[in-house]
A and B are shown apart, each in its own frame.
Chain A
Amino acid sequence: MTTMTEKTKVEIIIDDVAYQVNADSNLLQECLSLGLDLPYFCWHPCMGSVGACRQCAVKQYRNEEDRDGLLTMACMTPVQAGARISIADPRAVDFRAGVIESLMISHPHDCPVCEEGGECHLQDMTLMSGHNYRRYDKKKVTHRNQYLGPFINHEMNRCITCYRCVRFYSEYAGGVDLAAQAAHHHTYFGRHEEGALESEFSGNLVEVCPTGVFTDKVFSERYSRKWDLQTAPSICTGCGVGCNTAPGERYGELRRIVNRYHSELNGYFICDRGRFGTGYVNHAERLQQPQDAQGKTLDAETAVSRLREIAGKAIAIGSPRAGNEANHALRKLVGEANFHGGFSAAEQACMDEIAAFAGDPAFHNPSIREIEQADAVLVLGEDVTNTAPRIALALRQSVRNRAYELADSARIPHWQDAAVREIAQHERSPLYLFATGATRLDDVAEASVIDTPSGLARQAFALAHRIHADAPAASGDGGGNSAQLEQIAERLAAAKRPLIVAGAGNGRVELIRAAGNIARALRKRRGNDEQKPLDLCLLTGEVNSMGLHLLTRSENSLEAALDKLASGEAENLIVLENDLYRRAPHARVDAALKAARTTVALDLLPNRTTARADLVLPVTAFSEQQATYVNYEGRAQLAWQVHRNHSAARPAWQWTGEFAHFREALHDCAASAPAMKTLGKVLPDTSHLPGGGKLPRQPERYSGRTAMKANLNVHEPKQAQDPDSALAFSMEGVPARRDATLLASPWAPQWNSNQSISKFQDEINGPLRQGHVGALLLERGAGGGFHPVPEADEATGIELTPARQIFGSEELSARSEAIRKRMGDAYVAISPGLAAGHGLTHGAAVSVRGEDASVTVLACVRGSMPPGVAALHASDREIDFHGLGARVSLAPAAGDAAVALDRGLGELIVSDLAQGS
């Protein structure tokens, strides 16, 4: 599953035809790799075999003379050179039909009202195995359903007990609140009591469950069948990882997001922010028309000319959540010298450092597939579960490399999932966490180092020195536990493929530098410099943080832009998809906006910045436009337009009037920014596709074409044209079959579910045929050296650090209805000692006072937090985070302040709430 080494091939004979297959695999996986139709349920490409469902039975023969053979489960049978098997043997066919018939005896006859219908693996397998009518005349077993939160629907009657849900939820994703209960034919998959599923990856149950036990509740509210969804390949805009997704649209609304297989990045799974966090696209308050400060609607031409008029004396602020083309078009409009990055000061410093490391040949920024192969991991200060959730899921897999090692020593193949887990017991590859409190990865961590952010940095510098003496030393191990640091140093140094993870999430540049020092020290310790670069994973905050940084001059920070405006050096301001109040102290933004003569804001939803703009231009959301984004690795990926926006909103690059076509913008961006010069590679080669290279966005059985708009006008409108891409807004063109050049929604004859992805892979878990994995932009040049240990901070007071939440920290997803149901209110997390010292209890309103601002939030008392740090989460409250400065003081807030914070903290999933709170 996780090995990428050169595979040895052997010959086996299936139904009298000889095939070359991988020697270290099982028969089911190889049959599917070969494109043969063999039914299965419990096997999953990412989770291996357990032999629970007995559906993949085949006949195996001892030799050429053997005519009888014996039935065997393909998923549990290792490939052996010269093996002879038969899928089509009548007894095997019969056996499989019998198995499916018995699996179906209690199935509740509700396909028409099941969200899975039409993309159901159970439907597919039932047809494939030839079962039609229920012969069993006894009663069906029934179950009561549970409420599982706002994301997932539960319909337990449909269960066929394949155990995939718990194998994914608990074993793969580390969830603790879903389990198999009861016994024999009463087996029940659910929670110990009703309530929201806690795991950040619960949405994957929808895709993992082969039938309709777990379905997408958000999608069900505005439901469409799979065959009715207009779909295109897209990229998740929830964080900086850039998982591949397939959004589906019907009747002009974005209906749902499903995972889109990417062999290097997300594989088969995405997080719940990505899956449920796009409801903002259908938001009722979406900006629809260009408007001036008086709220008067302007026509598009006037708006463009007004924008171009003021552009001469304007500076522009780009956006890490807008694509490269939008940022570049604005950069071209105002000139490179006047184009500023849209990061907060702290994040800008982090991004500068991340970019510096990204150019260093000593390091390699690993993909998710590579992260899963790490056998010792150190996470430095980054709350990965909340800033880049999919990476956290990958880290969970990395700790299993010890299990695979043990399995190798016992000659157990890696796909024997239960056996590998059995032999490993609780043995794990080391994962060390440097954090300001308990995290959601604690259960698989070898040890956690808990300290304030500056304390973590000191300890990390000390750790680097312990790993190699060339790294500068911090005094007295940075106040940490020497024995623990020594142990971490030794385990990291002993690893075959160590990995250091840090990121811009908490805005501490010294932590990123410390991560660099540790990685550099490890590399030195490992001997010669010619060996492979060391894995250093530096996470970026938003979908295109890296892209924006590559397009911006280093001195052109957001702060510099605000200064230029306030000092009168620049006259006008153009803000691209960016709420400046989230990025800088409110007082400074206010001063800058006041000084600016004309402010133009381009955005898709109203926010504090658009409210103060003189001209607001509505832009399209991610699914309504084509754009390229650069992820944390420097991988540029193209997100295709899924559907059209019927208001006056346009992609931001179109508003600037610089480019007529998307490709012009993309190629000009590649030509004018040296770091982007290979950006053109993201465009897939469609020259080999028939019919002029057009491919349909709509499936072949897209229904209702002649009726869906007939209420407006019975004369059907002309099909919308898409001159900007190889996709058509219709069923016209040649749909993807085995070629995955532009694959959004996999489908193959007899395979309507997402399991059909195997038909597009040359081998299971391998790259897609003609599939596009994006273009790695970053080139490594000159190496760097160790960073000096930062001076000890003499300031007193409580250190302020941001607390990230998967539901709530990302600006746009936090405006999606589904996500809002899981969002708690703004809070500040503090240690019990700190709370007691200030007379605060959990859930009480607290006033956090900083340099230039003070905010009122709820107190969240967490047992594991060190004293001297306050972790502030703004949720969707308009909190002046950056105005608070680095150090804050706390005080109980006036009695009624908590009433305004009515969302409460009930939705927070925290393992270390202090006793009695």
Chain B
Amino acid sequence: MFSLIRDTLLSQAVTLWRVFRKLFVKADTVEYPDEQPYMFPRWRGRIILSRDPDGEERCVACNLCAVACPVDCIALQKTETEDGRWYPEFFRINFSRCIMCGFCEEACPTNAIQLTPDFEMAEYVRQDMVWEKEDLLIDGTGKYHDYNFYRVAGKQVAGKDKGEALNEAEPVDVRSLLP
């Protein structure tokens, strides 16, 4: 009986001492939002659409992000410029459904869609969590600075003729018999 009381009291005294000691330790929490935490560049937060190094929209409306999305919260429609460049007529993300899994970024063949370290996306009205292309598209290249899909792919667009993409030879002259 005596030993039981002794053990219990001792345990409580030790706990009290340990808590008391923490009064003099520097706190790990910060005064958010006055003080901002460091976010790692590859944190999976708010989604953006980036531009290629030439300043054109990177998104080619291939629909791979939409199909990769496990909650199906991305919807878009392909359209085309006069010179044959594909781009989304609209691009919509329903952030109230988004789970920030990053599958869309992994699926994107042009590095257009990227997740950013911004996580501050609370809204009072759920409808405001539906973002359109105007809200998503940024002016820079995001995390990937150099990649320009249309400079690699064989499709002809304004400013890049056939044979001018990466590793391409001059277009074939069908009428020539030379090897």
Residues of B close to A713: CB separation below 8 A: 127
Question: Whole-angstrom distance between the alpha carbons of A220 and B168 in the complex?
Answer: 26
Residues of A close to B179: CB separation below 8 A: 184
Output the residue of A108, A137, A183, A184 with the most chain B CB within 10 A. Answer: A108
Of A186, A701, A706, the residue contacting B94 (CB under 8 A) is: A706
Question: Whole-angstrom distance between the alpha carbons of A186 and B171 in the complex?
Answer: 9
Interface size band for B: 35 or more
Say yes or no for A111: interface residue by CB 8 A criterion: yes
Residues of B close to A227: CB separation below 8 A: 67
Of A143, A702, A703, the residue contacting B171 (CB under 8 A) is: A143
Question: Whole-angstrom distance between the alpha carbons of A110 and B162 in the complex?
Answer: 13
Say yes or no for A228: interface residue by CB 8 A criterion: yes
Of all chain B residues, which has the CB nearest A112? Answer: B62
Question: Whole-angstrom distance between the alpha carbons of A181 and B177 in the complex?
Answer: 11
Of B62, B67, B92, the residue contacting A701 (CB under 8 A) is: B67
CB of A109 within 8 A of CB of B163, answer no
Residues of B close to A188: CB separation below 8 A: 172, 174
Q: Which of B12-20, B69-77, B138-146 contacts A (4 or more CB under 8 A)?
A: B69-77
CB of B162 within 8 A of CB of A707, answer no
Interface size band for A: 35 or more
- Given A186-B172, A225-B63, A703-B63, are A110 and B154 neighbors across the interface (CB < 8 Å)? yes
CB of B129 within 8 A of CB of A142, answer no
Of B60, B94, B172, the residue contacting A141 (CB under 8 A) is: B172
Say yes or no for A123: interface residue by CB 8 A criterion: no
Say yes or no for A691: interface residue by CB 8 A criterion: no
Of A222, A223, A703, the residue contacting B72 (CB under 8 A) is: A703
Residues of A close to B153: CB separation below 8 A: 108-110, 112-113
CB-contacts of A107-121 with B (<8 A): 108-113, 117-118
Residues of B close to A706: CB separation below 8 A: 71-73, 94, 97
CB of A108 within 8 A of CB of B165, answer yes
Residues of A close to B132: CB separation below 8 A: 711
Of all chain B residues, which has the CB nearest A702? Answer: B72
Residues of A close to B44: CB separation below 8 A: none
Say yes or no for B36: interface residue by CB 8 A criterion: no
CB of B76 within 8 A of CB of A140, answer no
Q: What 0/1 pattern do residues 212 to 230 of A give for CB contact below 8 A with B? A: 0000000011111101100
Question: Whole-angstrom distance between the alpha carbons of A137 and B130 in the complex?
Answer: 45
Question: Whole-angstrom distance between the alpha carbons of A798 and B15 in the complex?
Answer: 115
Of B72, B155, B171, the residue contacting A113 (CB under 8 A) is: B155
CB of B93 within 8 A of CB of A707, answer yes
- Chain A interface, DSSP helix/strand/loop, else mixed: loop
Question: Whole-angstrom distance between the alpha carbons of A142 and B153 in the complex?
Answer: 11
Residues of A close to B76: CB separation below 8 A: 704
Question: Whole-angstrom distance between the alpha carbons of A711 and B129 in the complex?
Answer: 10
Question: Whole-angstrom distance between the alpha carbons of A715 and B130 in the complex?
Answer: 11
Say yes or no for B102: interface residue by CB 8 A criterion: no
Say yes or no for B64: interface residue by CB 8 A criterion: yes
CB distance from A704 to the nearest CB of B (A): 3
Of A108, A137, A142, the residue contacting B170 (CB under 8 A) is: A142
Residues of A close to B66: CB separation below 8 A: 228, 703-704
Q: What 0/1 pattern do residues 179 to 191 of A give for CB contact below 8 A with B? A: 0011110101010
Question: Whole-angstrom distance between the alpha carbons of A701 and B66 in the complex?
Answer: 9
- Chain B interface, DSSP helix/strand/loop, else mixed: loop
CB of A703 within 8 A of CB of B109, answer no
Question: Whole-angstrom distance between the alpha carbons of A438 and B175 in the complex?
Answer: 33
CB of B93 within 8 A of CB of A142, answer no
Say yes or no for A24: interface residue by CB 8 A criterion: no
Residues of B close to A714: CB separation below 8 A: 94, 96, 126-127, 129-130
Residues of B close to A707: CB separation below 8 A: 72-75, 92-94, 97, 130
CB of B60 within 8 A of CB of A710, answer no
CB-contacts of A198-250 with B (<8 A): 220-225, 227-228
Residues of A close to B177: CB separation below 8 A: 183
Of all chain A residues, which has the CB nearest B149? Answer: A112
Residues of A close to B80: CB separation below 8 A: 220-221
Residues of A close to B94: CB separation below 8 A: 706-707, 710, 714
Question: Whole-angstrom distance between the alpha carbons of A218 and B67 in the complex?
Answer: 23
Say yes or no for B110: interface residue by CB 8 A criterion: yes
Output the residue of A137, A143, A710 with the most chain B CB within 10 A. Answer: A710
Of A142, A222, A703, the residue contacting B169 (CB under 8 A) is: A142
Q: What 0/1 pattern do residues 53 to 96 of B give for CB contact below 8 A with A? A: 00000001011101101011111111010000010000011101
Question: Whole-angstrom distance between the alpha carbons of A707 and B69 in the complex?
Answer: 11
CB distance from B76 to the nearest CB of A (A): 7
Residues of B close to A110: CB separation below 8 A: 153-155
CB of B75 within 8 A of CB of A710, answer yes
CB distance from A233 to the nearest CB of B (A): 24
Say yes or no for B167: interface residue by CB 8 A criterion: yes
Say yes or no for B101: interface residue by CB 8 A criterion: no
Q: What 0/1 pattern do residues 89 to 122 of B give for CB contact below 8 A with A? A: 0001110110000000000011000000000000
User: 11 additional contacts, CB 8 Å, given A188-B174, A703-B67?
Assistant: A112-B86, A113-B86, A113-B153, A117-B62, A157-B162, A182-B175, A186-B172, A190-B174, A224-B78, A228-B66, A704-B75
> Which 10 pairs, one residue from A and one from B, show the smallest C-beta to C-beta distance?
A108-B154, A704-B75, A112-B62, A707-B75, A703-B66, A139-B169, A110-B153, A708-B75, A705-B72, A707-B94
| 16 pairs, CB–CB < 8 Å, chain A vs chain B | A108-B153, A112-B153, A113-B155, A139-B169, A140-B165, A142-B163, A142-B171, A144-B172, A181-B174, A223-B78, A705-B72, A706-B71, A707-B94, A707-B97, A710-B94, A713-B127
By a beta-carbon cutoff of 8 Å, the part of chain A in contact with chain B is 108-113, 117-118, 137-145, 155, 157-158, 181-184, 186, 188, 190, 220-225, 227-228, 251, 701-708, 710-711, 713-715
